[in-house]
Amino acid sequence: MPYTTALRCRECGRHYPIEPLNVCEFCFGPLEVDYDYDAIKAKVSRASIKDGPHTIYRYEALLPVSRARAVDIGAGFTPLLRADRLGKLLGIENLWLKNDAVNPSYSFKDRVVSIAATKALEFGMDTIACPSTGNLAGAVAAHGAKAGMRTLVFIPRDLERGKILGAAVYGPTVIAVNGNYDDVQRLCSELADAHRWAFVNVNMRSYYAEGSKTLGYEVAEQLGWKAPDHAIVPMASGAMITKIYQGIQEFARIGLIPDAHTKMHGAQARGCSPIVKAIQGGHTHPKPEIPKTIAKSLAIGNPADGFYAIKAMKSSGGSGVVVEESEVAEGIMLLARTEGIFTETAGGVVISAIRRMAEAGTFKPGESVVAYITGNGFKTMEAVEPSVNKPIQIEANMESFEERVLAAVGR
């Protein structure tokens, strides 16, 4: 059974019961799941985790749902890969990639949605829904199908084709809203008030967000039970970087790793960078902006967890990094061509951010650097289509091959 004790307001500390609530009635602060960490510490060990499944549910004790009733399509425990070729190119000795592009619906969102869907069933809800920049839509549609729930996904009208298809294939009702993500999000907040549906990132947010902690746990476990020296994370709402840091801190708190010294760095693209602008300008809260970026999965102009993301970066000794729009596709291509991993635009932002940080001397020799690659490149093919070579057309004979191919690639 979960070790959850209550929901607690992150701002004023007021307690609430474990229900589909996400906002404090008094100060509007976000509600978070509280755990009995002493009980968890007494129960959980490295060995008990190692015996668990190769999914997020190996960390069941630190999650707000029971594995036994989980809506589980295999989210999590994705590979942590050494990136020697990319590292050599960038001058980073000890570079790692957390490849979350290989989740069941091809982004990290499966982690959060598995938790939210499970909790929704626990609450007796029969409809699952979300506002989405694309990745979440796919994850909600997939888990909705697995759970047999009615599924509605709301997306901005200008989304990439791959993301629309990647959600629609699971059979949800897809609603394209005439507006940007911030408009979609506002509409869904109002709908969540009017219907008892599980909007995973609205009224289920307190539980949903917990899923991202597993990105912190896994990296620490996969590095041999220690926190990385640096983590570079893409930022949209700012929730993921906050939760990864929380995950690393929880692991230290229950004694699974010696300490939580990781410097947390958040990356955004120039066309939508309210969180990075705020931290660089010395502000505690981001100023909302209208997104105009190729990195659509990061196009949240009014980031709800920006305040906490800034806090995580500052208190950990990390930083905010912005990359130019042109560097997004460059980052995707660089990762694909050095490490054989095809990521979406958010991953391109991360790789280019790391390149900038390496050039600026952020990483000391020997320090472990982990890049979070959170989504799959097939979702945003438009971003790299102009940059890749077209196939060489030949006839089915040796002469044609020699004439057109060997001339180009060399003997």
CB of 84 to another protein, least distance (A): 32
Residue 326 CB, shortest distance to another protein, in Å, is 25
Q: 87, 25 in Cβ contact below 8 A?
A: no
* Interface stretch with another protein, choices 162-170, 203-211, 315-323, 331-339 (CB under 8 A): 203-211
Q: Is 304 in the site for another protein (CB under 8 A)?
A: yes
196 part of the interface to another protein, by CB under 8 A:
no
As measured in angstroms, the least distance from the Cβ of 52 to another protein is 26
Residue from 5, 14, 23, 36 that binds another protein (CB under 8 A)? 23
The answer to whether 158 contacts another protein (rule: CB under 8 A) is no
Cite the beta strand spans of 127-216 per DSSP E: 127-131, 150-156, 173-177, 198-199
**What is the spatial distance between Cα 369 and Cα 267, in angstroms, rounded to a whole number?**
14
Residue with Cβ nearer another protein (20 or 228): 20
- Overall size of the chain counted in residues: 411
Residues 219-238 within binding reach of another protein (CB under 8 A):
236-238
Q: Closest approach of Cβ 322 to another protein, in Å? A: 18
Least distance (Å) between residue 232 CB and another protein: 17
- The answer to whether residue 182 forms part of the interface with another protein (CB under 8 A) is yes
CA-CA distances (angstroms) from residue 406 to 103, 172, 391, 395?
A: 38, 48, 14, 14
- 181 binding another protein? (CB under 8 A): yes
For another protein, which residue of 64, 131, 166, 228 counts as binding (CB under 8 A)? 131
In angstroms, the Cα distances linking 140 to 130, 156, 187, 306 are 7, 16, 18, 23
Given the DSSP bridges, would you call strands 80-82 and 319-323 parallel, antiparallel or unpaired? unpaired
User: With respect to another protein, which residue has the nearer C-beta, 88 or 196?
Assistant: 196
Q: Does 205 bind another protein (CB under 8 A)?
A: yes
Q: How far apart are CA 360 and CA 354, in angstroms?
A: 10
What residues contact 218, with CB distance under 8 A and at least 6 apart?
Answer: 76, 77, 78, 80, 98
3-state helix, strand, coil in the chain (%, to 5): 45, 15, 35
Q: Is residue 360 within the footprint of another protein (CB under 8 A)?
A: no
Label residue 147 left, alpha or beta by phi (over 0 means left) and psi (-120 to 50 means alpha).
Answer: alpha
Of positions 5, 14, 29, 382, contacts another protein by CB under 8 A: 29
| Interacting residues toward another protein by CB under 8 A | 11, 22-30, 130-133, 135-137, 181-186, 188-190, 193-194, 201-202, 205, 208-209, 236-240, 285, 287-288, 290, 300, 302-305, 307
